[in-house]
A and B are shown apart, each in its own frame.
Chain A
Amino acid sequence: MASRSPPALGGPLLAPRLSPAVPTWHPTRAEAAPMEFSELIKTATVENVLLSRPGLPAVRGTLCITSHHLLLSSSPRGDLELWLLIRNVDAVEKRVHNLGWYQPPRTAGSLRDTRVSGSSGTITLRCKDLKVLQLEIPGMEECLNIASSIEALSSVDSVMMMYPFFYRPPGLRLQQGWHQSPLERHFQQVASQTSQWRLSTVNRDFSACPSYPPAVMVPAAVGDDVVAKAAAFRQGGRFPVLSYFHPKNGTALLRSSQPLTGPNRRRCREDEKLLGTILDEGERGFIIDTRSAQAAKQARMSGGGTEPKSSYPQWRRLHRALDRGRPLQESFIRLVEACAEQGMDRWLGRLESSRWLSHVKAALSTACLAAQCLDREGCKVLVHGAEGTDTTLLVTALAQLILDPSCRSLEGFQGLLEREWIQAGHPFQLRCARSASSHGRGKQEAPLFLLFLDCVWQLSRQFPFSLEFGEQLLLTLFDNAYASSYGTFLCNNEKERSLCKVKESTHSLWAWLNQPEERQKYLNPLYSHNPLVIWPSVEPQSIQLWQGLFLRWIRPSQHLDEAWAEIRRLVEGNNSSSKESTGKRLSQSFPDPTAGTQNGR
């Protein structure tokens, strides 16, 4: 008998059972609770639980808690199953009704057979992917047990106890998807066009910078000794490295963390040399600092700071303040609250006061500024904020998407994420530990990656043909960054990943996504390779709320889904008929699609 396993990614939340009904729950080997987990599970099974979700009919069934999943199997027919990764639970709210004579408030779908006289409880699960589930559980004790089990299991913080280390999907091999080394491949591309950059292994044992990958690109003209000294002058050792080489005019985008100038205005010859060799004599470069001028100045008091003009004469600083950390997390929380309370008047006012769209606008504008410096001014650009792991990556990744057509393919985009977010050391584990229900908890959480995905979505809306992937991919990435069956977004940097043996013991999300059938779901039917730079509009009129994400579980999407199905039908109808068609073409000639690239050069 086939043992049950959780539905793969992207499957419907509540899926009709594929296999014939199995009356009892048989945990697979991976799902069997090891000792550590079984202590946390106080009650494993409760019957007659009522599940309700906004906009969908309620379901009654049997609830099971396993090490990593919450499972609800509808009874009596067992034709529907809910699988929820417990890691996906952001907050648990419980409410018990303990009065025998008191009739508990009923939800619309409540049936007659609830034990009116007994006690019961309601658990509200706020998930990291922003959906909200409500479970009505007969028996107060069961309710409290279930709630505390979920709470305990969802906050296990040992990486190696997480589900990716147990998940073994059929049809995938463990190593698959891990050994694409985007950085080396990227370097080969760069090396084919210029010899100004080399691949340095100064960080092979993570000694120069614990949050960088073992190999990084640095100017060919400086040796590893210089690089190592420069690293000591940058916060967290994040010395300037090449992020993107712009083949059109040979300019380059670099990133780093702030220099450790400090109150005494320390200098570092090696750091100055490293940045100096990048520019020819008389050439100018831009440093885009993602803090305000004042914040950058204040950072000196705590040992940080900026590159003073006197020591870096060829570099000109531009300050563009981008929020991160707590303010960004608060913004996310307020936006999600506003979306949940649609009955409220002054929706636009609430949208505004969440400030989320202001963050989107600021991030896009800064990325455009960087791209403009590179493409239009022909200048090299260094981007950094403070740590260089948050807003810095946001800007460099977006700028590449705007400039470089190869980042806009499905494969190229994965490479970009791997290089500019995962290997570049964005601390996913810290930033995505909690989602929008995390009021007052944790100081490290911040939805930088979500902000990036939102900006990508804005680009895809303004340039509907230019990205090979569609909204579904962005949603999947968001979900997996916060809770995943795959190891791709685990840990905070490559060093931690190697210590935890993530690549050896978990599956890669990319391996899953790139399976032919799966891949199909994430493609944009309208895509056509666009060799040009895509300059978005950053006017407020052009920036919209990403309803597909923030209102995914709230707004009805049937009509929009139908529209996409129709678009697919049209485009695929066209493809198939052009494949079938064999005759001579229409006599009209069409402009060479690459002609436009050459403009202005």
Chain B
Amino acid sequence: VENVRLLDRLSSRRAVVGTLYLTATHVIFVENGSETRKETWVLHSQISSIEKQATTATGCPLLIRCKNFQVIQLVIPQERDCHDVYISLIRLARPVKYEELYCFSFNPKLDKEEREQGWKLVDLNEEYNRMGVPNSYWQISDVNRDYGVCDSYPTEVYVPKSATAHIIVGSSKFRSRRRFPALSYYCKDNNASICRSSQPLSGFSARCLEDEQMLQAIRKANPGSDFIYVVDTRPKLNAMANRAAGKGYENEDNYSNIKFQFIGIENIHVMRNSLQKMLEVCELKSPSMSDFLWGLENSGWLKHIKAIMDAGIFIAKAVAEEGVSVLVHCSDGWDRTAQVCSVASLLLDPYYRTMKGFMVLIEKDWVSFGHKFNHRYGNLDGDPKEISPVIDQFIECVWQLMEQFPCAFEFNERFLIHIQHHIYSCQFGNFLCNSQKERRELKIKERTYSLWAHLWKNRSDYLNPLYRSDHSQTQGTLHPQIAPCNFLYKFWSGMYNRFEKGLHPRQSVTDYLMAVKEETQQLEEELEVLQERLANLQKSQSGNNKVKSKQQDQSKQFGLYTSNNSLANTPQEYSNDLKSFPSRSPSQGDEDSALILTQDNLKSSDPDLSANSDQESGVEDLSCRSPSGGGCLPSEDSGKDSDEAVFLAG
């Protein structure tokens, strides 16, 4: 469709005209006019909703909201075209079969061996060994070998040595969806562990001997402590309501030596609505500070994030400081339980704060234990009530921790954002389906590629320059401040407004420091070479002066980051009054259009995922990247592009 206008939320003046293409996998908008022909690519699987608004004089507006929080506003001149696009997108955005998803057609041109290597990058067996199991307290159980006991669990689970198959099976019958208590994290320093399960089917009075024995076994696996915590992550009221349906929570009287604790994290429906409310706030057109803060407060989003963090902190403290094992569950044990176990693990074990460790953590607590990726993130058309930003919240918890502990994580914010993106993109097979069983049936590993290998290959983009393995923040348990510290939880505009670069700091400290770090390394290497050479030269008695090059060093250093600065060089709309000011000369008008050009170039050339995935998609001739001259910041094409545009404008 031609002559489509792409609008900018922040400024009605900055609309661009271009052509809209629909392909089997993407929506593509190509700008007319500008020499760079800026492109916007959106994967169909990213589309969360499409809204056709009332036709106006200029055309028919179409609003596309994406799961990665991009909002695209198009105006299509002909109502008929608009309708066609709308109908096609609705169909394309809601695939009904896994085979329709992008990962089955995505081909990064790797051979079979590389693909297999990629899938081997994260190996959970290795991970359990790293934790220190199996050992004299824990063993691997093959009771779920053919998913015979629990179809949403992995085939290999770790259980206390004293838990016989009889106990496990008995316990599983007393647990919702048969998700019996299994090991999530083991702390080899003090034998304390985090186990996970679903709620017991206790109703008002039911008991199960095997389940009681199972919890007993978990306690015995930690000889240093005479009780275990049972943490129900639901609000007490919800848990009590479940009793009427024959489910519920553990009765302290029936289980010996447990301490029972509720932690009120709300359910997926509350969370979905909360996110919805927050996104509405993000979408407001020129909101006042009050609109924004009230909206954010009323969405409750940060309160929910804090609740998840508090639960994780409680568990980490129990394990690390008290040396007490913890059993965590919610209702089915695949949403809140996954959040809380992974936050606790992250706090406890520095390994999970490395890039590789974080991949392992997601693989362990989310993928292998049957977090329902397909249902939660709506990969296939399904029940909208099943959709909820569960893992998004976990990812945000990690970001909040990164803000509090800037040196503690090996990876940076971009790493988190890209993982979030790919959970929805379906470009890689990792997060397909609802369980390991389904993934095996679909032969995911043979037919798709692994995201982890892709991220690992590009790991230099995701490094946190402040991370140093010998830094104090990278050692041992993290101790975030607990109450009363509401101010610690901040709105994450890097995620929820990530496509509106105008809102973010204009200069990236991370990238700058990364570049500095690399340069230092290079210089040190150079220095070594030179010292060697100098030694040789001194032998042969030649005194060259070396003053000159110092200045060059300086200029190079500046060169490193000046490209960033030009990002800053466009004002926003601070006033509409100016527009109507009568005395503006035509030349000023020209400058305005130049402005538009610059601004949009900035946006187009973001080192952004859609652009990344384009390149990988193999559609080379449509690649929007302008050839950019030797840069040393891998992801700062934006700066260069805008420089170019700036010159065009001049």
Contact = CB atoms under 8 A, between A and B. Distances in A.
Given A566-B468, A566-B471, A570-B513, A351 B293 contact: yes
B288 A542 contact: no
Given A596-B643, A600-B649, A585 B290 contact: no
A593 B562 contact: yes
Nearest to A589: B630
A347 B583 contact: no
Interface residues of A, number: 90
Interface stretch (B27-35, B191-199, B496-504): B496-504
Contact of A588 (B291, B581, B632): B632
Interface string B147-161: 000000000000000
A526 B530 contact: no
A189 interface: no
Interface string A290-334: 000000000000000000000000001010000000000000000
A591 B644 CA distance: 11
Given A352-B297, A368-B574, A562 B282 contact: no
A542 B553 CA distance: 34
Contacts of A464: 505, 507, 509
Nearest to B467: A566
B289 A577 contact: no
Interface stretch (A67-75, A134-142, A175-183, A532-540): A532-540
A92 interface: no
A541 B569 contact: no
Nearest to A594: B562
A525 to B, nearest CB: 10
Interface string B399-425: 000001111100000000000000000
A283 B588 CA distance: 14
B51 interface: no
A281 to B, nearest CB: 12
A526 B526 contact: no
A462 B487 contact: no
A361 B293 CA distance: 13
A361 B572 CA distance: 13
- Interface-central residue, B516, B555, B588, by most chain A CB under 10 Å: B516
Interface in B517-553: 517, 519-520, 522-524, 526-527, 529-530, 546, 549-550, 552-553
B627 interface: no
Nearest to B403: A560
Interface stretch (B114-122, B330-338, B478-486): B478-486
Nearest to A402: B571
Given A343-B484, A595-B643, A369 B574 contact: yes
B502 A559 contact: no
A465 interface: yes
Nearest to A357: B289
Interface residues of B, number: 101
Given A563-B466, A578-B553, A372 B566 contact: no
Interface string B257-286: 000000000000000000000000010000
Interface in A333-348: 339, 341-344, 346-348
Contact of A377 (B556, B570, B581): B581
A349 B550 CA distance: 54
B388 interface: no
B559 interface: yes
A463 interface: yes
A148 to B, nearest CB: 33
Contact of B487 (A316, A342, A466): A342
B307 interface: no
Contact of B302 (A348, A541, A583, A593): A348
B69 interface: no
A344 B559 CA distance: 48
Contact of A577 (B287, B513, B524, B630): B524
Given A539-B10, A539-B503, A574-B523, A583 B549 contact: yes
Contacts of B565: 465-466, 530-532, 593, 596
Interface stretch (A82-90, A424-432, A543-551): A543-551
Contacts of A376: 571, 588, 591
Contacts of A343: 483-484
- Interface-central residue, A360, A532, A560, by most chain B CB under 10 Å: A532
Interface in A434-488: 461-466
B443 to A, nearest CB: 43
A511 B500 CA distance: 44
B11 to A, nearest CB: 11
Contact of B581 (A316, A462, A562, A573): A316
B136 interface: no
Contacts of A529: 558
B15 interface: no
A125 B474 CA distance: 38
B524 A562 contact: no
Given A346-B297, A373-B578, A585 B487 contact: no
A115 interface: no
B432 to A, nearest CB: 33
B465 interface: yes
Contacts of A540: 287-289, 291-293
A590 B291 contact: no
A580 interface: yes
B406 A537 contact: no
B575 A369 contact: yes
A462 B564 CA distance: 12
Contacts of A588: 630, 632
Report, nearest first, the 3 A-B pairs whose CB atoms are least far apart: A590-B559, A540-B292, A347-B486
6 contacts: A357-B289, A372-B575, A532-B566, A541-B282, A559-B407, A570-B516
Interface of B: 10, 282, 287-294, 296-297, 302, 404-408, 465-466, 468, 471-473, 481, 483-488, 490-491, 493, 497, 500, 502-507, 509, 512-513, 516-517, 519-520, 522-524, 526-527, 529-530, 546, 549-550, 552-566, 568-572, 574-575, 577-578, 581-584, 588, 591, 594-595, 598, 629-630, 632, 640, 643, 646-647, 649-650
Given A555-B488, A585-B553, 13 more contacts: A347-B486, A368-B571, A535-B568, A537-B572, A540-B287, A555-B481, A559-B406, A560-B406, A574-B557, A581-B530, A583-B546, A590-B562, A600-B594
